[in-house]
Structure 1
Amino acid sequence: MKTIRRLIYGEILIATGFVLLAFLSLFFFFDFVEELGSLGQPSRLDPKVIYEMRHALLYVGLLMPSRVYELLPISVLIGSVAVLARLAQSSEYTILRTSGLGPWKALRTLLGLGLLFVALTFAIGDYVAPIADKTAQLLKARYQGRISLGQTGAWLKERQTHSNFSVNVGSLSPQGELGEVRIFEFDNQGLLLSTLQADKGQIEKNNTWTLRKVVRREFETSGQTSAKIVKSVHRTFHWPSSISAEMVSVALLKPDRMRTADLYAYVQHLEANGQTAQRYEIEFWRKVFYPLSCLVMVVLALPFAYFHFRSGGITGYVFGGVMIGISFFLLNNVFGHIGNLNHWRPWLAAASPAIIYSFVSLGAFGWLVLRR
């Protein structure tokens, strides 16, 4: 059995590696072509700094771990289908069956390999890809100016004992310096107490915000109908807050590019401050279930070992396997959006595609392998 396992594992690992390399080469080319338009442009912060070819290559290279994370499950499916179909076509799998490789042993063997891919996908998606993606964004910002956090900036909310704060950060420099900071303070009844605008800022290690070139306006209510506005200008202003630099840098990454632990902490922060966390909860559960899709892929591939192939007929089955894999990932994205719009339970919206395809793959396994 060890010899059979070594044969199947080795063939599938090699085939998956080649498929993944082909996908990465294709996406590297597309990403690099997209960066060609930025070559030769001077930085907004320092006109002497030019975005060159080597910077574009390094930037695109740093995006590759995220591509590996996205493409690994479908590469596992294509590689597994190709290997099992080839073994069936050459009658090698028939020999393995007569050597004692029954359907359930084959399923356990592939599930063992699937667990290896699950661990690899989780490690890349949770440790390598977030660091590489953030480094890529900071690298690009170094040569092209600050990182814009969208048209409206990054919005965060904090609830303190006597006040609630809405914080808006417009941009973030590669050194972690905040730009265009606005802070709105409200009392517990929702009345505006003060506003603060700062050109620049920095979050210290103790989470105190050090803001520079600050204009602060305080609203002092005298009676129910009139209010006095007190304006003050500060060269430096210190604002104690529990909002850390990591929470602000969340705006650099898409939710699916964040670490699972960071995503969970961010969800807890949103819920503690009365903000909607549905989208991030769905992304958290998708991060949990996404590596497990490698198990679904290897189970989907197993029935292909029991088909009877004519000469040259393997290509159509491999193409069918590719279409199945693409449909899985399309359904995975669609369920995330539908669950967010209809307020489904986050874990259900994230797990539904994997559950559906697991039943489909097990049904195909039972009909094709056990009954026939």
Structure 2
Amino acid sequence: MKVLQRYFAVSILQAVAFVLVAFLGLISFMDLTGELPAVGKDGYEIQHAFMYVLMLVPGHVYEVMPVAALIGTIYTMAQFASTSEFTIMRASSMSTQKAAWMLFKIGIVLVAITFVFGELITPRTAPFAEKLKLSAKGASVSQQFKSGMWTKDVVRSDGVKGEVTGTRFFNVSQFRPDGRLVDVKLYEFDNDFRMRSLITAKTGVFEGDNTWRLDDVTETVFTAGSGEGKATFGQENSAVSTRKLDTMALASEITPKILSVSSSDPERMSANELAVYTRHLAENRQETERFKIAFWKKLIDPFSIFVLMALALPFAYLHTRSGGVSLKIFIGIMIGVSFILINTLFSHLGLLSTWPALVTAIAPSLLFLLLALGALWWVERH
């Protein structure tokens, strides 16, 4: 059985690697074609386009690995069926359960590779690709928004600890690739949403430990006068004072990482980054559903490799008269495309219908698992 396991593993992994390289070549070519119109403009040259496309490859590995596993396994199973190897294996007492167990062990390797690309490599290469592109063009992340970048934070009594005393809105005209902020505006409100201060700064630099250093600062403070002490902004008993500072230390839960992920595609973020950002949004009472769905999909999607490989196993029971290898590969491609479309469809439906994030993420895999079990039952009976 060890020899058979090794034979299965080598055959399937070679086929999966071939399919994966073919997909990556096609997708990278399309990415490069999309970048070509920008080449030669604003300092963005062909070498930058090539490097940008190269840095996107790890993300594509994570995205297409399940489909590559499906097509590669179908090709191998169809080859076994066309040469009657699988028939000989079954005659040598290999049951469907044993074949499924061998595929499962091969799937563990593919799932591990997928997790490495999704959790360790892509979260580093994708931001680097965007920074490279912006640096070449001399642009910033926030320039894609007309009013700059906005985010929300809570004000606490003791820096980033203690009880919440208010709310702060960040507005940044430019968020540079090196993490520096340009033209910063901070609007602070108390717990009753009365505006209590407006802080503007020419630049902001993150110094670590949840601390920003703001330079060339103007602080306008709105305080209640000698009246009841509960004046709202604009009432006669409110007072306004302004002061200018060369520098100011600002304690905030907002970090360059949070600012960068707030404009990132959730699909290119790691599960850890999604968890941290989702918690930040929840603490600030902002919409979290999209990021919750992306978090659960990040955890569940790699395991869909097991489901799709199980769906490929019935092709080993189909003899040549049921169709050649090319026909079975075409069917596998259609199944893979269907899985991607249904997975995407459920993500949008879950977001629109406010389904539980876990249900939205796992439903497509469960649907295809039922299809795989039904196909195995059918080939066993026939």
The alignment's TM-score, normalised by the length of structure 1, stands at 0.92
Q: Distance in 2 between matches of 1:59 and 1:252?
A: 18
Which structure 1 residue ranges, 5 or more long, are not aligned? 43-49
In the alignment, is residue 138 of structure 1 matched against residue 131 of structure 2? yes
Distance apart, 1:38 and its partner CA: 2.4
5 Å matches for 1:165-314? 165-222=168-225, 224=231, 225-226=235-236, 227-310=238-321, 313-314=324-325
Q: Distance in 1 between matches of 2:140 and 2:378?
A: 54
Structure 1 residue identity aligned to 2:381: R
Match of 1:76 in 2: 69
Which sits farther off after the overlay, 349-358 or 245-254? 245-254
Match of 1:47 in 2: none
Instruction: Choose which of 356, 359, 370 in structure 1 pairs with 2:367.
Output: 356
Instruction: Choose which of 319, 331, 343 in structure 1 pairs with 2:330.
Output: 319
Pairwise CA RMSD of aligned residues? 1.8
Which sits farther off after the overlay, 133-142 or 155-164? 155-164
Q: What per-residue deviation string (whole Å, max 9, x for no partner) do you get for residues 264-297 of structure 1?
A: 1222222223222111111111111011011111
Q: Distance in 1 between matches of 2:277 and 2:215?
A: 27
In the alignment, is residue 2 of structure 1 matched against residue 5 of structure 2? no
Q: Distance in 2 between matches of 1:331 and 1:360?
A: 14
The sequence identity of aligned pairs, in percent, is 36
Structure 1 residue identity aligned to 2:104: L
Q: Distance in 1 between matches of 2:137 and 2:85?
A: 56
Q: Any conservation in 2 of the 1:148–1:170 contact (CA below 8 Å)?
A: no
Distance apart, 1:337 and its partner CA: 1.5
Q: Any conservation in 1 of the 2:152–2:167 contact (CA below 8 Å)?
A: no
Instruction: Choose which of 151, 167, 171 in structure 2 pairs with 1:155.
Output: 151
Q: Distance in 2 between matches of 1:154 and 1:288?
A: 29
Which sits farther off after the overlay, 241-250 or 145-154? 145-154
5 Å matches for 1:11-22? 11-22=11-22
Match of 2:114 in 1: 121
Q: Any conservation in 2 of the 1:137–1:147 contact (CA below 8 Å)?
A: no
Distance apart, 1:311 and its partner CA: 8.9
Q: Distance in 1 between matches of 2:174 and 2:310?
A: 46
Secondary structure of the structure 2 residue equivalent to 1:124: helix
Which structure 2 residue ranges, 5 or more long, are not aligned? 157-163
Q: Distance in 2 between matches of 1:126 and 1:168?
A: 30
Q: Distance in 2 between matches of 1:169 and 1:355?
A: 43
Distance apart, 1:242 and its partner CA: 2.2
Q: Any conservation in 1 of the 2:184–2:202 contact (CA below 8 Å)?
A: yes
Q: Any conservation in 1 of the 2:153–2:252 contact (CA below 8 Å)?
A: no
Q: Distance in 2 between matches of 1:236 and 1:168?
A: 18
Q: How many residues align?
A: 364
Match of 2:161 in 1: none
Q: Any conservation in 2 of the 1:146–1:172 contact (CA below 8 Å)?
A: no
The alignment's TM-score, normalised by the length of structure 2, stands at 0.90
Structure 2 residue identity aligned to 1:91: S
Match of 2:343 in 1: 332
Q: Distance in 2 between matches of 1:262 and 1:103?
A: 40
Q: Any conservation in 2 of the 1:154–1:251 contact (CA below 8 Å)?
A: no
Q: Distance in 2 between matches of 1:71 and 1:191?
A: 50
Q: Distance in 1 between matches of 2:353 and 2:34?
A: 35
Secondary structure of the structure 2 residue equivalent to 1:100: coil
Distance apart, 1:141 and its partner CA: 1.8
Instruction: Choose which of 85, 96, 105 in structure 2 pairs with 1:103.
Output: 96
